[in-house]
């Protein structure tokens, strides 16, 4: 079952919307449905840690996510790191 959820960044300045979706192999992806613009920063997949599947961006992580809870935690980390990248260019 897919579930959508908003995440407000720790700085309280932005809301991100994710869809958490279980894949056929039992892993989970956090699809990015809404986020603030990058305001001129590089939007490539490497600096933003995003990948694409079927025309939708999802959070890139270095290991498989085995549960929806794990996907939610990673999405929150990604959103806070993305917020810093947008504000001051800090890479993650």
Contacts of 83 (CB under 8 A, 6+ apart): 9, 10, 11, 13, 14, 36
DSSP state of 58: E
**pLDDT, tens digit (0-9, with 9 covering 90-100), for 14-62:** 999 999 999 999 999 999 999 999 999 999 999 999 999 999 999 999 9
Contacts of residue 60, defined as CB under 8 A and 6 or more positions apart, other chains included, come to 45, 49, 50, 51
| pLDDT number for residue 1 | 67
Give residue 2's pLDDT: 81
Q: Taking the CB of residue 73, how many other CB atoms lie within 10 A of it?
A: 13
- For 7-14, what is the mean pLDDT? 97
State the chain's mean pLDDT as an integer.
96
Distance of CA 23 to the CA centre of its chain: 16
Q: Where are the domains of the chain?
A: 3-88
């Amino acid at each position: 079952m897919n579930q959508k959820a908003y995440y407000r960044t720790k700085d309280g300045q932005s809301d991100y919307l994710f869809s958490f979706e279980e894949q056929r192999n039992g892993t989970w992806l956090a699809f990015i449905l809404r986020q603030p613009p990058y305001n001129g920063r590089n939007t490539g997949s490497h600096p933003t840690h995003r990948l694409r599947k079927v025309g939708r961006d999802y959070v890139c992580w270095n290991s498989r996510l085995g549960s929806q809870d794990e996907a939610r935690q990673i999405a929150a980390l990604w959103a806070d790191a993305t917020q810093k990248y947008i504000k001051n260019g800090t890479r993650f």
